[in-house]
Structures are given as structure tokens and as C-alpha cells.
Amino acid sequence: MYSEVFLSSLSFIVPILMAFIIFIFRSSLIINTVLSIFGIFIAFLSTFFSLDKINHSDLKFLQPEQWVYIDGFSILMQLMVEFVSLFVIIYSLKELPKLYSHRKNKFYLYFCSIMLSTGFMNLAFSLNNLFFMYIALELSSIISVYLITFNLNRESLKAGFKYLLIVNVGILFSLLGIVLLCYASGSEISISNIGQHVGNISKNIAFTCAVLFIIGFFTKAGLFPFHIWLPETYAESPSAITVFLAGAVTKIGFYGLARTVTVFAFNLEEIKILVIILSSIGILLGAILAFNQKDIKKLIAYCSISEMGFIASALALNNYAGIYGGVFHLLNHTLMKGALFFSVGILIYICGSRLIDEIKIRHKISTITVSFFIGALAVGGMPPFSSFLSSVTIILALAEEKFLWSAVVLAFSGFISALALIRTAIFVFWNKTETRDIENNDSLSFIMKLCSLLFAILLLIIGIYPELFNFLIDNAAKGIINMTH
């Protein structure tokens, strides 16, 4: 029993331990990278151990001790965060020395923060008690502020301040929701019993709790109308950290949503409608605002707000197809943003600017072009990429639940987002004047290209052969549905 808890806990113990080792020894960039990769590797092994245990259990979740609760959804989230962290660390190895050389003596703190944040996220995905989950979740977002402000210029500091203040105040609403739920049910609330308690409390209290959770976790995830921190934060962070934020940190908001709001949506029709209305407005608004952006990172950030609306609306549906589509799109969103932000990071690395007008690359098919285009097409939900499958699943699930208007908004907005991205891609990669030859740029690292291409290839592979990750997504969807009862 204890060995089982210990092995499952390594997914968060080792990254936190590695963070302390990096902090104490303050070694060189290479050693910090190696230590971080080692920490993530052990976390991967621990998550696979938990996955194996879940597959062999009849209940399909692990609860060796009262404070632990690991189901298919926790596993998927842990794997996603570990995967993103791993490539962010690898990418940073090349990005940091060139673009952030003025912070050379603080590189160890950068890696330390990534490992701590990863550790706390994995801890949040393993905890049963909602209060402890909240604490781990908040700690991970506070620590990521150091990464956002790593450049230490006026704009990044402002973005970091805005992020910290808005997210912290927003997430306090979800704390209030937990407190109210505890008060109304008269006992401690945990993930394993939230479904029973929500069914037993009065409708008005349940509605209030759900609204508080929506405010809290929508702010954390950067969803409309609490998204104001997101574009600036994504734009001002180092590109690797933007991937970390989009692929991991904002995902904690969705974890919170799935663990709380989905349960309420299963019991209250009003909550389902409210989430779908908010998400649909966000989907449309994000796509429209993306069109006006001059900053390439802000453009992708607005597309991201739109994309995340897909996930939120799907997670509010009380049918298997909706939850499955939402979880699938969660995975795809991470891959899409990885492909896009990593390739944009390379463009900024070459051109030294985020402004679309100043980024012009020679007309030649390169790895960056391929990964950017795959990412852009995937945002539009085009076949054969995996986002096509998840988008179609969500659209069908919405239509089945009589939200046809929302399905139309979703399809239309996906098209607009893709259009905004492809238009930019054509301007950046096929502009004939004032171009830079990227093929002759010796400093362009193979590692950076590999990172962006890998995310793009995964979008293609999962799109062609979805069975590859089906068991993970299926387990995650079933895990969410199981806790609603």
C-alpha cells in the first residue's frame, strides 16, 4: 500500500526535489537541463506506474490513501504537463543563451521554477481534497509568474503583475465555492465524493457554488470573459514559457472545471446553458479579435482563447461524446499551441521581433513553415489533423444536446481563426521583399526545429491513427463521468 502511494507520488516529489537541487547547486545551463530532464523522466515513469495500476483495477481509479485520487483524467493531465515541460526545457537550452543572455546568472532559477511548477501541477492532479487541490493549483500559477517576467523588462513585469493579480483574485472565487459547498454539505469535499454532495444540496446553493467555480476556473484557464490577462502574458513571456503556459499552466483551469463545474452541469441544466453561452461568445470573440493583431504571439493567444472555448463548452455537456471530445481537444490544444508557439519562437529568434510586419522569411519550405502551417490548419479543425476529430466530436455532441447554434458558432469561429493564422503565415513565409534567409542562419538550432516539428507531427499522427491515444482519452472521459455520480 505504502509503496504504491510512494511510487505514484514520485510524479510530483521528484520534480520538486530536482528544483531544490538545481537551486542549491546553481550549476551550468547544461547540468540544469540534464537534471530537469532526469526529474521529468522519473515523473513520467511514476505516471506510467499509476496508469498501469488503474488499468488493472476494477474501479478505474487509484485511492490507496484518503488524500490521493488518481483516475484516467489525472493521468492524462500529468502526462500532458510532463510532455510539455520536457520540450520546454529542451527548447530553452537554445533560446535562453541567445535571447536572454542578460539574465545569465538566473538561468538556474528559470529551470527551478519550471520544475517546481510542474511538481505542484502533478500534485494538484493527484490530490483528493478540494482545498489541497486549490492550494497546489495556486502555488503552481504563482511560481510561473517568475517565468513570465524572466525578461525583466517593463512590459513583462506589467504582464506578470496583471496575471498574478487577476488569476489570484479570480481563483479566490473558486475557493469561496469550495467553502460554500463544504458549508452546505456539512462535511469535507473531495473529488471522490463531490458528485454525491452536489446532488444533495439545495438548488440555489448549488447554482451559486457553480457560478463561483466558473468565475474561478474560467479566470485560471483564460476563458472569456476573464481572459484579459492572457494575450499580454503570452506575448511578453519567453516563447518556451508561452508553450508552458498554453500547454500546461492554463490546463489546470480545465482540470478544476472538469472536477467541479462538469459535476454541477450534470445536475443543473442552467449551468450547462451558462457555460455554453459564455464559451460560444468567447469562441467567436477570440477568433474575431485574432484578425486585428499585429503581434504574432497575441494573434495565436486570441486563437487560443477561441479554441479553449471549444473545450469548456464540451466539458459542460452531460454526455460521453461531449466529455470525450472536450478531453480530446484539450490534448490537441496543447499540441497545436506547442507547434505554433515553438515555430513563432524560432521566428522571433531569427528576426528579433514579434511584430508581423517585421517578420519576413525567404520563400522556401522549411521546418518552421511546415510546423506553423500544420498548427494553423489544425486550429481550423482541418483533416487529417487530430483537431478535426475532436472538433467534429464536440460539434456532434453539441447538436445532440440541442445546442445547434453553438455548434455553428464553433465551426465558423474555427474557420476564422485558421484564416487569420494562414493569412499571417502567407505574409510571413511568402513575402517577396525584405526577406531573411533562414536556411543560411547557422545559429538556428536543430533542437528548436525538432521541438516545433514534433508537436506538428503528433497532430498528424493522432489525426491519422487516433487509436494510439484512445485508451488515455477514453479513461479520462470515463474518470470525469464516474465522479459526477
Partner 1 sequence: MEIIYFAILFFTFIAGESKNLRLSSYSLIPHSLLIAISVFTLAYIGNINSLYLIAVVDVMVRAFLMPILLIILLKNRLEREVKPSITHPLSIALSIVVLSVGYNFVDTIKISIFPNVLSCFSAGFTLFIYGLFLLLSKRDTAKMIISFFIIENGIHLLIISMIPHMPKIIELALTLNFVIALFFLIYLTIRLNEILILEEIKKLRESNNIYKLEE
Q: Can you tell me which of 55, 57, 153, 200 binds partner 1, judged by CB under 8 A? A: 153
36 is written with which cell numbers? 530537469
Q: Can you tell me which of 7, 31, 45, 176 binds partner 1, judged by CB under 8 A? A: 176
Quick one: which segment of 87-95, 156-164, 254-262, 270-278 binds partner 1 (CB under 8 A)?
156-164
Quick one: which segment of 134-142, 313-321, 407-415, 429-437 binds partner 1 (CB under 8 A)?
134-142
> Which residues neighbour 153 within 8 Å (Cβ) at sequence distance 6 or greater?
none
Q: How far apart are CA 373 and CA 340, in angstroms?
A: 8
Q: Can you tell me which of 37, 99, 142, 408 binds partner 1, judged by CB under 8 A? A: 142
Q: Can you tell me which of 71, 82, 95, 138 binds partner 1, judged by CB under 8 A? A: 138
Angle between helices 203-221 and 269-291 (to 10 degrees): 20
Query: In this structure, are residues 434 and 428 in contact, taking their beta carbons and an 8 Å threshold?
Result: no
Decide whether 147 or 438 has the Cβ nearer to partner 1: 147
Q: What angle do CA 222, 276, 123 make, to 5 degrees?
A: 45
> Which residues neighbour 284 within 8 Å (Cβ) at sequence distance 6 or greater?
306, 409, 412, 413
The distance of Cα 363 from the centroid of its chain, to the nearest Å, equals 32
Quick one: which segment of 137-145, 289-297, 388-396, 424-432 binds partner 1 (CB under 8 A)?
137-145
Q: Can you tell me which of 5, 21, 34, 179 binds partner 1, judged by CB under 8 A? A: 179
Task: Please name which of 237, 263, 247, 298 lies closest in space to residue 77, comparing C-alpha atoms.
Answer: 247
> Which residues neighbour 270 within 8 Å (Cβ) at sequence distance 6 or greater?
207
How do strand 61-62 and strand 70-71 relate by DSSP bridges? antiparallel
200 CB neighbour count, 10 Å cutoff? 12
- Asked if 158 is part of the footprint of partner 1 (rule: CB under 8 A), the reply reads yes
Decide whether 37 or 182 has the Cβ nearer to partner 1: 182
Task: Please name which of 343, 202, 307 lies closest in space to residue 264, comparing C-alpha atoms.
Answer: 202
113 is written with which cell numbers? 521554477
Quick one: which segment of 146-154, 251-259, 357-365, 426-434 binds partner 1 (CB under 8 A)?
146-154
For partner 1 (CB under 8 A), the number of binding residues is 28
Q: How far is the CB of 163 from partner 1 (least distance, A)?
A: 10
- Asked if 100 is part of the footprint of partner 1 (rule: CB under 8 A), the reply reads no
Quick one: which segment of 144-152, 243-251, 287-295, 371-379 binds partner 1 (CB under 8 A)?
144-152
Q: How far is the CB of 199 from partner 1 (least distance, A)?
A: 21
- Site residues, partner 1 (CB under 8 A): 129, 131-132, 135, 138-139, 142, 145-146, 149, 152-154, 157-158, 160-161, 164-165, 168-169, 172, 175-176, 179-180, 182-183
